[in-house]
A and B are shown apart, each in its own frame.
Chain A
Amino acid sequence: MPYLGSEDVVKELKKALCNPHVQADRLRYRNVIQRVIRHMTQGLDMSGVFMEMVKASATVDIVQKKLVYLYMCTYAPLKPDLALLAINTLCKDCSDPNPMVRGLALRSMCSLRMPKLDQWGQAEVLNFLLRYQPRSEEELFDILNLLDSFLKSSSPGVVMGATKLFLILAKKFPHVQTDVLVQVKGPLLAACSSESRELCFAALCHVRQILHSLPGHFSSHYKKFFCSYSEPHYIKLQKVEVLCELVNDENVQQVLEELRGYCTDVSADFAQAAIFAIGGIARTYTDQCVQILTELLGLRQEHITTVVVQTFRDLVWLCPQCTEAVCQALPGCEENIQDSEGKQALIWLLGVHGERIPNAPYVLEDFVENVKSETFPAVKMELLTALLRLFLSRPAECQDMLGRLLHYCIEEEKDMAVRDRGLFYYRLLLAGIDEVKRILCSPKSDPSLGLLEDQAERPVNSWASDFNTLVPVYGKARWATISKYQWAERRGPELPNTASFATPGPLIPEESKETVQELPDSEALMLVPSCQLTAEYFEKTWFSLKVAHQQVFPWRGAVHPDTLQMALQVVNIQTIAMSRAGAHPWKAYLGAQDDTGCLFLTELLLEPESSEMQISVKQNEPRTETLNSFISVLETVLGTIGDIKS
């Protein structure tokens, strides 16, 4: 047989396939088809005879059918338009009386692979796959391997879609999640410096999201987040936020220098945002930041001074070690503050730390002199408190003006709140100086608050489902109000049914406040808000009563005590004691009282590794109907909190 190149082979086979004599002879026809398959297996390109092969599929010979379908499945990706022709035959075969033919056709149809989807299709499919739950670990990693190539796509939509799918599928493998976030760093940074501002903004929002869980993730790329003056305001603000969050020992100097440049920006809003940002960094790098802020006061610009003083106020509360430096910087500020917020901050500082600021009484005296023309009631209230505090540490200098201020507030002031505050302080002073000290000398700082505010690193899983959605772009807080609104719109009228409390989409505590408060009305249970049980009384009562009701409640993961406590407070259930987050076993004791005086004492118990929360309720008067109502309220709260978490 002469050697033939693949082109000649194709030509020859094509001729043979078209030959009506061959077609008439079943065996010869099958033979030619077998040759096609053989060449195909050897790696020759046989896609040229696709048309003829499709025609050959219309046959009663099952062997021939099988061969043709094998061929079609191989070459369909190369000839998608011709493969469509084959579908007609396949459809017809699906209604064939012979079950073997039907099965074959169905299987072939499923294995026809069309050319790859374009980027829009890919993004859709990646989104759709989020619903899939892999059955085994093996399958999971197979999927992840397939996903890898999408992370390198040139379309940001596809890359982010693949990243989200990765994060969701690998929720039990934190190291895999971290790997993906490392891989997606490049595309995200590229999007952050994209020419499209809108894309840049979306990317920055997602960078912030990632930084919540992996604080060091972008630290070495901090320069990418420096602002340029031509950028729109909203991008600059995001970049400043990002800079604050990725600051570390190595880059703090450069970042602060950059931020200081922004503080004198033409846009007052942006300048103020930069100053607040420096204040945020000051919680960790106090000395450097306080020095920069002090220098800014030298500018004597109203919009700068007011924000710096507000930053100082927050700072001394969280970082008491900087009080000395702040007190030295304050004199002279009062000349450049006109707005309410700034005045309040300054007056507060003068009141609380006045003993360290030599001219504090004289500054306050100016405020007292001008109190008649002061337009903001909040400033007057602050002034009253500050002056009384300062009076305690420097009585000689303050006594006279304190008298004048109290006189003014009680006799002439129109604002009731200010007047009441004045009266209150006056009567307090009558009760003796020790009483005043007991009320007013509260702590001057609380560093632990800073730890609370910083919020520990959030696990990736807490935001994975929000990734590549509008949530990070709006910001969590704004999204909460939006979804609350939407939720109310959609579900509003059919609310008071407790049983259908399973809500679609994310829920927030504020929502539960409204919905849950409606519940007691419909169930004739009214919990009293003012119920104040002491721990001792609770303990005594708890041991004296029998359990009236016990049940389990499905629960996944750990409990966030703060959130739970807040939600319970909303429905007037008081938290007596609660384990800290992550304790094993986790316990909480709750108390509540209804308007008839009936007490409800509750224990929540979450055993380690258990997926159920045990609820035990005791009641001092055996009344079943109110007990059931109470339990449904409790369940609602727990259900809502559980929803938010998952």
Chain B
Amino acid sequence: MISQFFILSSKGDPLIYKDFRGDSGGRDVAELFYRKLTGLPGDESPVVMHHDDRHFIHIRHSGLYLVATTSENISPFSLLELLSRLATLLGDYCGSLSEGTISRNVALVYELLDEVLDYGYVQTTSMEMLRNFIQTEAVVSKPFSLFDLSSVGLFGAETQQSKVAPSSAASRPILTSRSDQSQKNEVFLDVVERLSVLIASNGSLLKVDVQGEIRLKSFLPSGSEMRIGLTEEFCVGKSELRGYGPGIRVDEVSFHSSVLLEEFESHRILRLQPPQGELTVMRYQLSDDLPSPLPFRLFPSVQWDRGSGRLQVYLKLRCDLPPKSQALNVRLHLPLPRGVVSLSQELSGPEQKAELGEGALRWDLPRVQGGSQLSGLFQMDVPGLPGPPGQAPSTSAPLGLGPASLSFELPRHTCSGLQVRFLRLAFRPCGNANPHKWVRHLSHSDAYVIRI
């Protein structure tokens, strides 16, 4: 049960404010919340804060604060889930979630909140139910254009590729059935994996963790049935054996409650009738055992002359993806000892960039082809770094250097090897053209850390 709900912009401007129960102070709570948030001591978490007898619970989503207040000692899990669900719903209805879309669609947002919550209790968050009641139509800033490739969202992460859906295609509102009949029947299916890796300084692998999701965003009429075929060698758990060879193995899988699994055991087919909007069909996890080699290997060598305070770091980055694949937006982040003053660099390619900032070295590589090898030589002066003078240059790293971390995106690649074989729709188009189906695979780094 929540008392108030409000949305603040990243700068603290209130965008939406709704009081459900009238049991707590006025609108200034939004301001109060922002004041508390910015004045919070470093060791306290901002997720739950309190003032008088009121608790503030919030999530940050797309740069916005979605905040609920309550005076009860309620379940944090349910409430955080509700806030994320609200964020998804608002995104679905307004096209995407941002300061701009929210302020353009204030009426729609209030209407939604009215239906979702009654006197602070959740009524429903299902798209199916809500679409019967929501009358306001979303205001979109600019007309949807197939050729608009400017913004990059998750559902359009592959904008630099040809022949993929335009980036903005998925970030348009779910239109109600009453309005535009000529809407496109489209469905987006994304297999997204987050990779977290820890590699020891001797190159041995300490931890691999893959968090995968199959996400669906459907613009088809609700209730149209679809079948998603996964790789047949897909095995769950350590012991299951399927097909020839090692198979595609994950440790744990959970499905959305609307997914029917009769054909999953035999053919690895998921059947579902998704409502319009976004839905996480399946979540899976995989630890410690990857079928394919890791996407990146880093070979660092460090020369440190204690006497003159000269630090030389040579980094060789090898991309072990298949030659046809590539990694985008690769960024290497290497914390440096305190007091580094100058940087001179020799990079292996002209499109690369390296700079110092916030006590760390940042090396940007916009595009790395599979199988390629890149290198950078960095020389720095660290006058403040103490040490007995007169020692020969040593190869051991000074304290404070490293660990290096990489962030990147791997379009058309899943680390677990899981692929969507097919996406079939049982939907009969009414006079319109066949529905468009967009199936995409994407891996990106969550934490890819290499100790030095």
Q: Does A229 contact B (CB under 8 A)?
A: yes
Q: How many interface residues does A have (CB within 8 Å)?
A: 63
Q: Which positions 115-172 of chain A face chain B at CB distance < 8 Å? A: 118-120, 123-124, 127, 152-157, 159-161
Q: Which residues of B contact A425 (CB under 8 A)?
A: none
Q: Does B278 contact A (CB under 8 A)?
A: no
Q: Which residue of B lies closest to A490 (CB)?
A: B53
The 0/1 profile, CB within 8 Å of B marked 1, for residues 162-205 of chain A is 00000000000000000000000010001101011111011100
Q: Nearest-CB distance from B208 to chain A (Å)? A: 9
Contact of B47 among A161, A226, A234 (CB under 8 A): A234
Q: Do residues B77 and A196 form an inter-chain contact, with CB atoms below 8 A?
A: no
The CA-CA distance from A199 to B58 in the complex, in Å, is 10
Contact of B73 among A202, A226, A254, A471 (CB under 8 A): A471
Q: Do residues A201 and B50 form an inter-chain contact, with CB atoms below 8 A?
A: no
Q: Does B196 contact A (CB under 8 A)?
A: yes
Q: Does A476 contact B (CB under 8 A)?
A: no
The CA-CA distance from A127 to B121 in the complex, in Å, is 14
Q: Which residues of B contact A124 (CB under 8 A)?
A: 121
The CA-CA distance from A237 to B283 in the complex, in Å, is 27
Q: Which residues of B contact A265 (CB under 8 A)?
A: 335
Q: Do residues A299 and B399 form an inter-chain contact, with CB atoms below 8 A?
A: yes
Contact of A470 with B77 at beta-carbon distance under 8 Å, contacts A224-B209, A261-B451, A264-B335 already known = no
Q: Do residues B84 and A196 form an inter-chain contact, with CB atoms below 8 A?
A: yes
Q: Which residue of A lies closest to B359 (CB)?
A: A266
Contact of A127 with B75 at beta-carbon distance under 8 Å, contacts A228-B447, A489-B53 already known = yes
Q: Which residues of B contact A231 (CB under 8 A)?
A: 447
Q: Nearest-CB distance from B451 to chain A (Å)? A: 7
Q: Does A328 contact B (CB under 8 A)?
A: no
Q: Nearest-CB distance from B192 to chain A (Å)? A: 10
Q: Which positions 42-74 of chain B face chain A at CB distance < 8 Å? A: 42-48, 50, 52-53, 55, 57-60, 73-74
Contact of A161 with B75 at beta-carbon distance under 8 Å, contacts A269-B42, A269-B43 already known = yes
Q: Which residues of B contact A190 (CB under 8 A)?
A: 252, 254, 283, 285
The CA-CA distance from A471 to B194 in the complex, in Å, is 31
Q: Which positions 342-389 of chain B face chain A at CB distance < 8 Å? A: 358-360, 386
The CA-CA distance from A191 to B121 in the complex, in Å, is 24
Interface size class of B (residues with CB under 8 A): 35 or more
Q: Which residues of A contact B211 (CB under 8 A)?
A: 193, 195
Q: Which residues of B contact A482 (CB under 8 A)?
A: 50
**Of B42, B45, B287, which is in contact with the most chain A CB atoms at under 10 Å from its CB?**
B45
Q: Which residue of B lies closest to A195 (CB)?
A: B194
Contact of A223 with B77 at beta-carbon distance under 8 Å, contacts A234-B47, A269-B42 already known = no
The 0/1 profile, CB within 8 Å of B marked 1, for residues 90-121 of chain A is 00000000000000000000000000001110
The CA-CA distance from A156 to B287 in the complex, in Å, is 21
Contact of A198 with B198 at beta-carbon distance under 8 Å, contacts A261-B451, A299-B399 already known = no
Q: Do residues B400 and A299 form an inter-chain contact, with CB atoms below 8 A?
A: yes
Contact of A254 among B75, B125, B206 (CB under 8 A): B206
Q: Which residues of A contact B122 (CB under 8 A)?
A: 120
Q: Which residues of B contact A127 (CB under 8 A)?
A: 75
Q: Which residues of A contact B46 (CB under 8 A)?
A: 234
Q: Do residues A201 and B47 form an inter-chain contact, with CB atoms below 8 A?
A: yes
The CA-CA distance from A102 to B449 in the complex, in Å, is 71
Q: Do residues B405 and A229 form an inter-chain contact, with CB atoms below 8 A?
A: yes
Q: Does B256 contact A (CB under 8 A)?
A: yes
Contact of A199 with B252 at beta-carbon distance under 8 Å, contacts A237-B43, A299-B400 already known = no
Q: Which residues of B contact A238 (CB under 8 A)?
A: 45
Q: Does B320 contact A (CB under 8 A)?
A: no
Contact of B53 among A197, A228, A273, A486 (CB under 8 A): A486
Q: Do residues A197 and B60 form an inter-chain contact, with CB atoms below 8 A?
A: yes
Contact of A201 with B45 at beta-carbon distance under 8 Å, contacts A120-B122, A190-B252 already known = yes
Contact of A199 with B80 at beta-carbon distance under 8 Å, contacts A228-B405, A298-B399 already known = yes
Q: Do residues A154 and B257 form an inter-chain contact, with CB atoms below 8 A?
A: yes
Q: Does A300 contact B (CB under 8 A)?
A: yes
The CA-CA distance from A273 to B42 in the complex, in Å, is 11
Q: Nearest-CB distance from B306 to chain A (Å)? A: 12
Q: Which residue of A lies closest to B82 (CB)?
A: A120
Contact of A154 with B254 at beta-carbon distance under 8 Å, contacts A228-B405, A266-B360 already known = yes
Q: Do residues B42 and A160 form an inter-chain contact, with CB atoms below 8 A?
A: no
Q: Does B207 contact A (CB under 8 A)?
A: yes
Q: Which residue of A lies closest to B405 (CB)?
A: A229
Q: Which residues of A contact B285 (CB under 8 A)?
A: 190, 193
Q: Nearest-CB distance from A168 to chain B (Å)? A: 14
Q: Does A448 contact B (CB under 8 A)?
A: no
Q: Nearest-CB distance from A73 to chain B (Å)? A: 25
Q: Do residues B47 and A202 form an inter-chain contact, with CB atoms below 8 A?
A: yes
Q: Does A559 contact B (CB under 8 A)?
A: no
Q: Does B296 contact A (CB under 8 A)?
A: no
Q: Does A469 contact B (CB under 8 A)?
A: yes
The CA-CA distance from A468 to B79 in the complex, in Å, is 11
The CA-CA distance from A469 to B124 in the complex, in Å, is 22
Q: Does A530 contact B (CB under 8 A)?
A: no
Q: Does A606 contact B (CB under 8 A)?
A: no
Contact of A156 with B81 at beta-carbon distance under 8 Å, contacts A201-B47, A233-B42, A473-B47 already known = yes
Q: Which residue of B lies closest to A158 (CB)?
A: B78
Contact of A118 among B84, B126, B358, B403 (CB under 8 A): B126
Q: Nearest-CB distance from A568 to chain B (Å)? A: 29
The CA-CA distance from A478 to B254 in the complex, in Å, is 35
Q: Do residues A228 and B446 form an inter-chain contact, with CB atoms below 8 A?
A: yes
Q: Which residues of A contact B124 (CB under 8 A)?
A: 118, 120
Contact of B48 among A153, A254, A301, A474 (CB under 8 A): A474
Q: Which residues of A contact B451 (CB under 8 A)?
A: 261
Q: Does A539 contact B (CB under 8 A)?
A: no
The 0/1 profile, CB within 8 Å of A marked 1, for residues 15-55 of chain B is 00000000000000000000000000011111110101101
Contact of A198 with B194 at beta-carbon distance under 8 Å, contacts A160-B77, A300-B386 already known = no
The 0/1 profile, CB within 8 Å of A marked 1, for residues 398-417 of chain B is 01101101010000000000
Q: Does B333 contact A (CB under 8 A)?
A: yes
Q: Does B255 contact A (CB under 8 A)?
A: yes
Q: Do residues B45 and A196 form an inter-chain contact, with CB atoms below 8 A?
A: no
Contact of A157 with B75 at beta-carbon distance under 8 Å, contacts A120-B82, A193-B209, A254-B206 already known = yes
Q: Does A295 contact B (CB under 8 A)?
A: yes
Q: Which positions 203-249 of chain A face chain B at CB distance < 8 Å? A: 203, 223-224, 226, 228-231, 233-234, 237-238
Q: Nearest-CB distance from B300 to chain A (Å)? A: 15
The CA-CA distance from A243 to B451 in the complex, in Å, is 19
The CA-CA distance from A299 to B337 in the complex, in Å, is 9
Q: Which positions 529-578 of chain A face chain B at CB distance < 8 Å? A: none
Contact of B81 among A157, A269, A299, A300 (CB under 8 A): A157
Q: Do residues B447 and A157 form an inter-chain contact, with CB atoms below 8 A?
A: no
The CA-CA distance from A295 to B398 in the complex, in Å, is 11
Q: Does B338 contact A (CB under 8 A)?
A: yes
Q: Does B76 contact A (CB under 8 A)?
A: yes
Contact of A295 with B399 at beta-carbon distance under 8 Å, contacts A261-B451, A474-B48 already known = yes
Q: Do residues B75 and A468 form an inter-chain contact, with CB atoms below 8 A?
A: yes
Q: Which residue of B lies closest to A472 (CB)?
A: B76
Q: Which residue of B lies closest to A467 (CB)?
A: B75
Q: Which positions 6-21 of chain B face chain A at CB distance < 8 Å? A: none
Q: Do residues A469 and B75 form an inter-chain contact, with CB atoms below 8 A?
A: yes
The 0/1 profile, CB within 8 Å of B marked 1, for residues 39-75 of chain A is 0000000000000000000000000000000000000
Q: Which residues of B contact A300 (CB under 8 A)?
A: 386
Closest 4 CB pairs between A and B?
A228-B447, A157-B78, A234-B45, A120-B122
Return 6 A-B CB contacts under 8 Å, by A number: A118-B124, A196-B80, A202-B47, A202-B77, A269-B42, A296-B399
- Apart from A153-B257, A198-B47, A470-B55, what 8 extra A-B contacts exist at CB < 8 Å? A123-B75, A124-B121, A190-B254, A199-B77, A264-B335, A266-B358, A474-B50, A482-B50
Which residues of B pack against A, CB within 8 Å?
42-48, 50, 52-53, 55, 57-60, 73-84, 121-122, 124-126, 194, 196, 198, 206-207, 209, 211, 252, 254-257, 283, 285, 287, 333, 335, 338, 358-360, 386, 399-400, 402-403, 405, 407, 446-447, 449, 451
